[in-house]
Amino acid sequence: MSAERVRSQAPYTGSWGYSRAIRVGDRVLVSGTSASLPDGSVHAPGDPYEQSVFILDLIEAALADVGAALGDVVRTRAFLTDVELWREVGRAHLERFGDVLPASTCVGGSTLLHPELVVELEAEAIVAPA
């Protein structure tokens, strides 16, 4: 079975070597996604809600590139620099997923790849056969 890949535009792609998303059959895996811009700067530095909205837009676009949508997402993971940011990240998550209600994990840590990044999200989707 072949894999369909979506290339990331993040500045770390060249030094890390990864895809934004990969679809194999009916399964789509979306890599950890941050609010990093292609030039290495950060969208909405330090703002968990705005970063989450931006990230979910990137995830939605990656899903669309392989024939999936937010409604197909069955699992998300959130990595936060401070677990106290969960309310703002959760607000963006709820706004975008609504009644989809994917299984979800939230992990608090200390840092991400850039000091102005406060959240990273990843997703898994199952696409129903056509």
Rounded CA separation 51/102 (Å) = 20
Domain spans, the chain: 3-126
Given the candidates 3.30.420.40, 1.20.120.530, 3.30.1330.40, 3.30.499.10, the CATH classification of the domain at 3-126 is 3.30.1330.40
| Assigned token pair, 75 | 């699992």
Report CA Rg, the chain: 14
Strand ordering across the sheet containing 119-126: 3-7, 19-24, 27-33, 119-126, 73-80, 103-108
CA 110 to chain CA centroid, nearest Å: 19
Query: What is the predicted pLDDT for the residue at 18?
Result: 83
Query: What is the predicted pLDDT for the residue at 55?
Result: 98
Q: For strand 27-33 and strand 19-24, is the pairing parallel, antiparallel, or unpaired? A: antiparallel
Query: What is the predicted pLDDT for the residue at 50?
Result: 98
Per residue of the chain (130 residues), give pLDDT as tens: 788 888 777 666 666 778 899 999 999 999 999 999 988 899 999 999 999 999 999 999 999 999 999 999 999 999 999 999 999 999 999 999 999 999 999 999 989 989 999 999 999 999 987 5
Query: What is the predicted pLDDT for the residue at 129?
Result: 72
pLDDT digits (tens, 9 = 90+) for 57-68: 999 999 999 999
